[in-house]
Amino acid sequence: MYWTREIAGWALVLFSLYLLRTGLLFVMDLETPRIVESAVVVFAGLGVLRAGIMLVRISTAARVCQLDRR
């Protein structure tokens, strides 16, 4: 169960990085820079990154606790 959470966390981290890259590319488009869209996507990406890191950390801590009890 913990491994599932960890994999889900890493998947969320990767997805958030994709979102961040997309947001940055919006700004770097020199012909039509989309600042507002970029801000929205980057904000969402940061939220997803935080959630992913939290999932990974919780699953790791829970695994350590379980191993200690055994």
Interface with another protein by CB under 8 A: which residues? 13, 17, 20-21, 24-25, 28, 30, 49, 53-54, 56-58, 60-62, 64-65, 67-68
User: Tokens 């913990």 appear where?
Assistant: 2
* 68-to-2, 4, 25, 26, 46 alpha-carbon distances in Å: 15, 20, 45, 47, 33
Residue 11 C-beta: closest distance to another protein, Å: 13
22 vs 36, which CB is nearer to another protein?
A: 22
Alpha-carbon distance of 60 to 67, in angstroms, equals: 11
Residue 21 C-beta: closest distance to another protein, Å: 5
Start-to-end Cα distance in the chain: 16
Residue 2 C-beta: closest distance to another protein, Å: 12
36 vs 66, which CB is nearer to another protein?
A: 66
